[in-house]
Chain A
Amino acid sequence: MSKVHVQTTINGDQVEFLCVPQQTMLEALRDVLGKLGTKEGCGTGDCGACTIMLDGRLVCSCLMLAAEAEGQELTTIEGIAGPDGLHVLQRKFLEHAALQCGICTPGFIVAAKALLDRNPNPDEGAIRYWLAGNLCRCTGYDKIVRAVQDAAKELAYQA
């Protein structure tokens, strides 16, 4: 089977890889590029564990072909922390114990960052609606919502 050559940008780095045509971006991230932060939950776009940013939009990487990444800019969970350490959201998820098993966490962090980048001061309803595509079977969501609210507060204080 002929492979597809893809040139793309992931977390600011130029990346080239080969994939098979039907391979998803999630599979390419994990199996070809060794970026294991992005998780597979359902594989059908329902759970949000595989959430990444694609050209400024939140997408499920399980519902995207790797070949579609050609010429695009992707951000994965590995691109969220800065050179000085964890992103505020990552710190707040730890402080609030907003995770237990952790499979959903990368997706929640990427999605929550996209929310705060657009709306620095979301109310609880806005957070819950924005994150409705991210499922967590451990926490019951309250701790996640509080972590995002607290991160928003700290980011506002820094700004």
Chain B
Amino acid sequence: MGEFAYVAPTSVADALDVLREHANNGRRAQMLAGGTDLLVQMRGLDKAPRTIVDVKKIEEANRLDIGSDEIYIGAAIPSAALNENAALKALLPGLIEAADLIGSTQIQGRATLGGNLCNASPAADTTPAMIVNRGVCVIASGGGNRELPVEAFCTGVGVNALADGEFLLGLKFPHPAARTGDAYLRFIPRTEMDIAVAGCGVSVTLDADGRCVDAAVGIGAVAPTPLKVEAAAEALIGTKVDDDALAAAGAACTAAASPITDKRGTVEYRRKVVAVLCRRTGAIARDRALGAS
């Protein structure tokens, strides 16, 4: 069984060494970023001893770069810090809104995009928002960093694509093209601090005439993993993202959804609501793209 230990490596190489050493000795290691899921799980679901590997002292997990080609967000940066960054909020408003929906002020002081993704909840609010912004996971691995699109990262409920000895270092997003807008909405029965019944992110890029030349749609809480819905994006491309196009995109989301019935909503309700969210989110993304220079 082993015992609990805590380490806070200061480099990627040191962190990988810790993971390798534990794998070789058959001991369990678990990464810690903000801890808002991990510590709750440690108190309830899984009290077993392990070595907790804190990534917050690693520079690459804390770096935020807004480049002309690419935006890099370290996996350990708390949501509150992202929300306070006006430049980032202006470029990826939908993503920051999704992060801002998660938990209270206190939770946002710790919770991270990286942790939200690694936790691999079907209802993770930031995952659809990262998918539609063409997010790419930067994964620290023994053979050097490897990259994986966000939509391929979650492989099941609570399961992700990280192999033993790997950890998530950060997330990369291409700098949005001119006349691009993104948005994320979720439905919850309360005004805040709840888990999504359904969620939808949309990003659209318009040409000078307001016609959609590129789009991405992501949905959450309506399947075992957050999904990228190509058919919904195709329903928007070539249109002016008008009501008919948004209705077609919403219908594509309903078709892609394979939800469960639980205390938050039924299968039928979730399939219907995800279409409504897609229409509303798409309209916000379109208006942002029209307003963007």
- Give chain A's interface residues, CB within 8 Å of chain B: 1-2, 4, 20-22, 24, 43-45, 48, 51, 54, 57-60, 62-65, 67-68, 70, 111, 114, 129-134
Contact = CB atoms under 8 A, between A and B. Distances in A.
B192 A132 contact: yes
Contacts of B193: 132-133
A68 B3 contact: no
A57 B110 CA distance: 8
Which of B36, B43, B49, B106 lies at the interface centre, i.e. has the most chain A CB atoms within 10 A of its CB?
B106
A1 B105 contact: no
29 contacts: A1-B3, A20-B4, A21-B4, A22-B49, A22-B52, A24-B39, A44-B40, A44-B43, A44-B44, A48-B104, A48-B106, A57-B80, A58-B105, A58-B109, A59-B106, A60-B106, A60-B107, A63-B34, A65-B6, A65-B35, A67-B6, A68-B8, A68-B32, A68-B54, A70-B8, A111-B105, A132-B193, A133-B104, A134-B104
B115 to A, nearest CB: 11
For the complex of A and B, list the 7 residue pairs with the smallest distance between their C-beta atoms, beginning with the closest. A133-B104, A57-B109, A21-B6, A21-B4, A67-B6, A22-B4, A59-B109
A56 to B, nearest CB: 9
A58 B81 CA distance: 12
Contacts of B110: 57, 59-60, 63-64
Interface residues of B, number: 29
Nearest to A43: B43
Interface of B: 3-6, 8, 32, 34-36, 39-40, 42-44, 49, 52, 54, 56, 78, 80, 103-107, 109-110, 192-193
A77 to B, nearest CB: 14
Contacts of A20: 4
Contact of B5 (A2, A129, A131, A133): A2
A1 B4 CA distance: 8
Given A21-B52, A24-B39, 16 more contacts: A1-B4, A2-B5, A21-B5, A22-B42, A22-B49, A45-B104, A51-B106, A57-B109, A60-B36, A63-B36, A64-B39, A68-B32, A68-B35, A68-B56, A132-B193, A133-B106
Contact of B106 (A22, A24, A58): A58
B39 A65 contact: yes
A130 to B, nearest CB: 6
Contacts of A51: 106
Contacts of B36: 45, 60, 63
Which of B36, B39, B56 lies at the interface centre, i.e. has the most chain A CB atoms within 10 A of its CB?
B39
A25 B100 CA distance: 25
Contacts of A60: 36, 106-107, 110
B107 A45 contact: yes
Nearest to B51: A21
Contacts of B39: 24, 45, 62-65
Contacts of A43: 43
A108 B259 CA distance: 38
Nearest to B107: A45
Given A1-B4, A70-B8, A133 B103 contact: yes
A57 B69 CA distance: 31
Nearest to B193: A132
Contact of B35 (A1, A64, A132): A64
B3 to A, nearest CB: 5
A119 to B, nearest CB: 12
Contacts of B80: 57
Contacts of B104: 45, 48, 132-134
